[in-house]
Amino acid sequence: MITLSKKEKRLILSAFQCEKETLSKEELSIEDNSTVKLIENEIKVHQSFFSIGQLELIINYLDLVSEKDGCINREVLNLQNKISAYLQTV
């Protein structure tokens, strides 16, 4: 199990929120019923348990945030590296 700090969880939630702002209403309704919604709910729990697929999706969303900002955010990069390192151990 990977342990995420409150700051890391907020970073993931902000990545999801950033992506939601770019979706159409139709895409957003589909998105709300997807894995993203499950991850958002799991993040709100004290001990979060994520599947490999969910962790890979989190990495993808963090990539989107980096691309939108036009620069690499050190916190985003550190979180991506942490999740990637964890995925290599499972």
Report the pLDDT value the prediction gives residue 86, as an integer from 0 to 100: 95
Please name the amino acid found at residue 36.
Answer: V
pLDDT tens-digit series, residues 23-52: 777 776 665 567 788 888 888 877 778 889
What pLDDT shows up at residue 55?
93
The residue ranking higher by pLDDT, 50 or 19, is 50
Distance CA 77, CA 90 (A): 20
Structure pTM?
A: 0.78
Residue 71 has pLDDT above 60, yes or no: no
Please give the average per-residue pLDDT across 71-83, as a whole number.
85
